[in-house]
Amino acid sequence: MDTGSETPAETSAEPGGETRGGARTDTRRAIVDAAASLLREGGPAAMTTRGVAELAGVQAPTIYRLFGDKDGLLESVAEHVMTTFVADKTAGMAAAEAAGADPLEDLRSSWRRQVEFGLANPAVFRLLVDPDRAVGSSAARAGREVLATRVHRLAVAGLLRVPEARAVDLIHAAGIGAVHALLATPADARDAGLGEAMMDAVLAAIVVADGARADVVRDAPVAAAISLRAVAPRLDVLSGPERQLLAEWLDRVAAG
């Protein structure tokens, strides 16, 4: 795995195309892009060192020097693909907020994109949901933060019937499970409605029932507590200890 340090050989010109200064970054990007293309088209087996080197226009030793081994390159590719995807989701969320979009529909839209991403990038998806790898992935953490922000919008709107952290965990687990189930099924035999059905099931567990449902009366106090808890840190009219105490009380109400 590349440690970020450079040796004299890495800063001098070589037949593989690596030269001084910023060219090292360009070479690294070219290798990652080439590997991502091979990974997307044929999975990990297609991402051979020789194939990556040929597509990126570098020599094989350059790959080992920058990434350590194939596993190091694979991790870098997964991180790159996921980082790009998360950046798009972040931009989409910002646009939705600016436009005053319904937080529930925004969450549904994000869910659909996440399922589509997993199905389109199965190798990257499997890498990023591997617990041993995910814990060290900045892109995976950023993706979870985007989800947490979307759930927070639900809380502020008074739509949550469970604490924010639990809602995030449920959505995250259900999303991973849905994609895993779909990837484990031959493409021509997949249930096209599975992702939506899973989303509906999760929302039924975490979102306040609509006005036509009798249990809305039961949900209302909890939803109100969760909504107030979401904005409690910003209640400047209270002192720090008072805000902390209020948060503790509201957490107890939300937990039921």
Q: Note down pLDDT in tens along the chain; length 256 residues.
A: 333 333 333 334 444 444 454 677 889 999 999 998 888 888 878 888 999 999 999 999 999 999 988 888 888 888 888 888 888 888 877 777 777 788 999 999 999 999 999 998 888 888 888 887 777 778 888 889 999 999 999 998 888 989 999 999 999 999 999 999 999 999 999 999 999 999 999 999 999 875 433 344 456 677 788 888 888 888 888 898 888 898 888 888 888 6
- In this structure, are 88 and 60 located in the same domain? no
229 is in which domain, residue-wise?
Answer: 77-255
- In this structure, are 2 and 50 located in the same domain? yes
Q: CATH number, domain at 31? A: 1.10.10
- In this structure, are 54 and 89 located in the same domain? no
Boundary-marking domain end, from 41, 68, 95: 68
Report the alpha-carbon distance of residue 232 to residue 5 in Å, rounded. Answer: 45
pTM, two decimals, is 0.68
Report the alpha-carbon distance of residue 242 to residue 85 in Å, rounded. Answer: 40
Cβ-based neighbour number of residue 246 at 10 Å = 16
Cβ-based neighbour number of residue 120 at 10 Å = 12
Cα–Cα distances in angstroms (integers) from residue 221 to residues 132, 161, 166, 216, 254, in the given order: 39, 9, 17, 9, 9
Q: CATH number, domain at 89? A: 1.10.357
